[in-house]
Each structure stands twice: as structure tokens, then as C-alpha cells.
């Protein structure tokens, strides 16, 4: 399986993804692929945009996360997520952490983007191919 990634204006690589959670909540978003993040995480902004309720049963003890100089809190997790990619590939993700933290630090941009982290790459046995000089980026397993 091969999944093409975009190189975004911020010089990050990301995948355009349709997200389906328990078949009920569905919408489109962009995930950054972040090999340095041990967890996959949905931002509080995507949580609101996709109208995903944070049921109490999915509440976890708040975990502070440092991202690009911002510190945010993870407060929930979602399970059994289906990700549909542009090339119609469908992947399952057992768990994704959720931040409902919309705070921004002084003089810093909000952490808008959701992340596909190391756990996603391991779970799906992906290689990450990335050649920024030629604008080439893709996942392959």
C-alpha cells in the first residue's frame, strides 16, 4: 500500500484524510505525519470542526504534551477510527488521543493540526519516504 503525502506550506508533510469514528461521525481533515510524536493526536480544533463529542467514557487523565513550544493537554481518547485516504485506501487506528485545548501561547500560532504519530506508522508497518528537495513524500508498507 502506498499513500502519497503533501508537503504543506509550513514545510511539514501531511495526509489529506477522511475520518470516520464508529461510522457515526464523519468528516475531512489534514493530519501531519510526525515521526517524533509517540502518539497520534486529534487537535481540539478538529474535534470541534468534525463535531466529535467527547463522551465521558473516553476521558483520560489529563496528559500534558509539549508541541513546537506550545504546551497542550490531552483529555480524551477515541477508539476504532477509520481513516480513508485519497487513493481509497482505508486504515484502522485503534486509538487516537484528543486534545480539547484551544489555548494559544503569546506570540505563537495555535496548534491547529492533528497528528499521525509513531504509533500509526508502527501499527500499519509503514516506511516513510521523504525527499524534500524533489517534493516527494509518501508512506509505503
Question: Considering the complex, what minimum distance in angstroms separates the CB of residue 39 from another protein?
Answer: 12
Q: Which of 5, 31, 34, 139 contacts another protein by CB under 8 A? A: 34
Interface with another protein in residues 117-136 (CB under 8 A): none
Rounded distance between C-alpha atoms, residue 99 and residue 114, angstroms: 9
On whether the CB atoms of residues 117 and 43 are closer than 8 A, the answer is no
Q: Which is nearer to another protein, 34 or 119 (CB)?
A: 34
Q: Which of 54, 58, 84, 130 contacts another protein by CB under 8 A? A: 84
Q: Write out the E strands in 13-69.
A: 13-21, 25-33, 41-42, 59-67
Rounded distance between C-alpha atoms, residue 92 and residue 102, angstroms: 27
Question: Considering the complex, what minimum distance in angstroms separates the CB of residue 84 from another protein?
Answer: 6
Q: Which is nearer to another protein, 61 or 112 (CB)?
A: 112
Query: How remote is the C-alpha of 31 from its chain's centroid?
Result: 4
Amino acid at each position: 500500500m502506498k499513500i502519497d503525502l503533501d508537503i504543506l506550506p509550513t514545510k511539514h508533510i501531511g495526509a489529506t484524510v477522511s475520518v470516520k469514528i464508529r461510522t457515526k461521525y464523519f468528516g475531512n481533515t489534514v493530519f501531519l505525519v510526525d515521526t517524533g510524536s509517540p502518539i497520534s493526536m486529534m487537535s481540539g480544533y478538529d474535534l470541534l470542526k468534525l463535531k466529535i463529542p467527547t463522551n465521558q467514557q473516553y476521558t483520560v487523565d489529563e496528559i500534558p504534551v509539549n508541541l513546537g513550544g506550545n504546551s497542550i493537554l490531552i483529555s480524551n481518547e477515541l477508539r476504532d477510527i477509520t481513516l480513508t485516504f485519497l487513493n481509497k485506501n482505508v486504515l484502522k487506528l485503534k486509538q487516537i488521543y484528543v486534545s480539547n485545548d484551544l489555548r494559544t501561547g503569546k506570540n505563537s500560532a495555535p496548534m491547529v493540526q492533528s497528528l499521525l504519530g509513531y504509533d500509526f506508522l508502527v501499527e500499519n508497518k509503514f516506511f516513510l519516504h521523504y525527499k524534500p528537495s524533489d517534493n516527494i513524500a509518501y508512506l509505503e508498507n
